[in-house]
């Protein structure tokens, strides 16, 4: 890694091309090949510690005291319903019923309209089909009449 950095610096200083050989570039620059040495790895000394067994005392078992909780019945208070609250509740229920009825009516109306559209399309396609058959018959009759006329003219 350091060699490539060193060579790049020498190339910049001397103006040598990237393709010129490294050795000749270094000779021209009057440099020797730098020698980078890695430091020698010295393994650290390690002493294994002696194992000392810890002292352990077993605790005494103490039974916990348990008291059963008292049951307290919850108090329930019925809400007061004033005339105004009752009227409001009745109005809400009525509005909900009306809304659901309106939704059902609109669904039925949409279904009815869709079925009428489908029926009209079917009738139209049947009409078109019968017109095509009729046109085909008329065309075939015309062709037959023309053939007969051609035969009469030839005789």
Reply yes or no on whether the pLDDT at 155 is more than 80. no
Terminal CA-CA length for the chain:
110
What are 20-42's pLDDT values in tens digits?
Answer: 888 777 877 777 665 667 778 78
Structure tokens at 140: 């075939």
Q: Please tell me the predicted confidence (pLDDT) of residue 33.
A: 63
pLDDT at residue number 130: 86
- Proportion of the chain above pLDDT 70, given as a percent: 90
pLDDT digits (tens, 9 = 90+) for 38-73: 778 788 787 887 877 778 777 787 777 877 778 777
Query: Do 11 and 18 touch, CB atoms closer than 8 A?
Result: yes
């Amino acid at each position: 890694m350091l060699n490539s950095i060193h060579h790049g610096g020498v190339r910049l200083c001397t103006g040598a091309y990237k393709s010129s050989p490294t050795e000749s570039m270094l000779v021209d620059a009057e440099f020797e090949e730098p020698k980078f040495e890695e430091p020698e790895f010295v393994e650290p000394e390690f002493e294994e510690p002696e194992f000392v067994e810890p002292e352990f005392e077993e605790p005494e078992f103490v039974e916990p005291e348990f008291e059963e909780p008292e049951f307290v019945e919850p108090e329930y208070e019925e809400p007061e319903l004033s005339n105004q609250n009752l009227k409001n509740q009745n109005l809400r229920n009525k509005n909900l019923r009306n809304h659901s009825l309106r939704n059902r009516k609109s669904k039925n109306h949409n279904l009815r309209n869709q079925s009428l559209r489908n029926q009209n399309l079917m009738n139209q396609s049947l009409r078109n089909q019968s017109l095509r058959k009729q046109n085909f018959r008329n065309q075939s009759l015309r062709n037959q009449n023309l053939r007969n006329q051609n035969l009469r003219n030839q005789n």
